[in-house]
Amino acid sequence: MRKYVIMGVQGSGKGTQGGLLAAGLDLVHISVGDIFRWHVKNHTKLGAQVRRLVAAGELVGDDLVADVVRDRLQLHDWNYGFVIDGFPRNRRQAEFFLESYDLDGVIHLDLPDEEVWRRVLARRLCSRCGMDYNLIAHRPEVEGRCDVCDGDLVSREDDTPDALARRLGDYHSKIDPVLELFRGKEYVMTIDARADKATVQRAIRTRFNLPPYEG
């Protein structure tokens, strides 16, 4: 069984890389962001709570994140292991996680803040079908329109410069200490996340001596 944590600032591609790694090694990809987005989309009670926080420009609290992750891991559907992204969010959670799960490694996707700005502010979302676009990496064929359903492309409501500055500040103040903790106890591999996604995935596999990426 293999258990990994993948860490990186928003826009570093940790969702994509976690997904590729999980698909290739038969692991379960646990993305805290995806779990919350699912709840928002399906109008659950938790989703309503998250929506209120986001609308108020606040972040989802660490304890709420910890509850969601604990519930998810308790499903025990990860026979071959898991890749988790979006957790742990502070040192206390990291210590608890290290005591509870025997991690095989921590993948740290390193992306300079100026590149985060460029990537995140280029993201667009179809207001009708929800398809993701990116004005740098995945441009729509017709400006401002969805290729699939011709819906209007909009920014995510939390992708404003103010909100991004706040999230970046929050990330560094909380996650940098978590990384320090992991560096002292676990196998942390820092991967340059500026390359294209196949190159980044190959680098992850090489650094952890995993089967090569065929994509």
Annotated binding site: 11-16, 37, 58-60, 86-89, 93, 123, 126, 129, 146, 149, 156, 167, 195
Please report, as ranges, the residues that interact with Zn ion according to CB under 5 A: 126, 128-129, 131, 146, 148-149, 151
List the binding residues for ATP.
11-16, 123, 195
Q: Which of 202, 58, 156, 175 is nearest to 111 (CA)?
A: 175
List the binding residues for AMP.
37, 58-60, 86-89, 93, 156, 167
At closest approach, how far in Å is the CB of 130 from Zn ion?
A: 7
Residue closer to Zn ion by CB (options 67, 132) is: 132
Lookup: tokens for 67: 């509850």
At closest approach, how far in Å is the CB of 202 from Zn ion?
A: 31
Residue closer to Zn ion by CB (options 143, 176) is: 143
Which amino acid is located at 34 in the chain?
Answer: D
At closest approach, how far in Å is the CB of 138 from Zn ion?
A: 13
Residue closer to Zn ion by CB (options 136, 149) is: 149
Residue closer to Zn ion by CB (options 156, 172) is: 156
At closest approach, how far in Å is the CB of 131 from Zn ion?
A: 5
The set of catalytic residues is 14, 89, 123, 156, 167
* 3-class SS string, the chain: CEEEEEEECCCCCHHHHHHHHHHHHCCEEEEHHHHHHHHHHCCCHHHHHHHHHHHCCCCCCHHHHHHHHHHHHCCCCCCCEEEEECCCCCHHHHHHHHHHCCCCEEEEEECCHHHHHHHHCCEEEECCCCCEEECCCECCCCCCECCCCCCEEECCCCCCHHHHHHHHHHHHHHHHHHHHHHHHHCCEEEEECCCCHHHHHHHHHHHCCCCCCCC
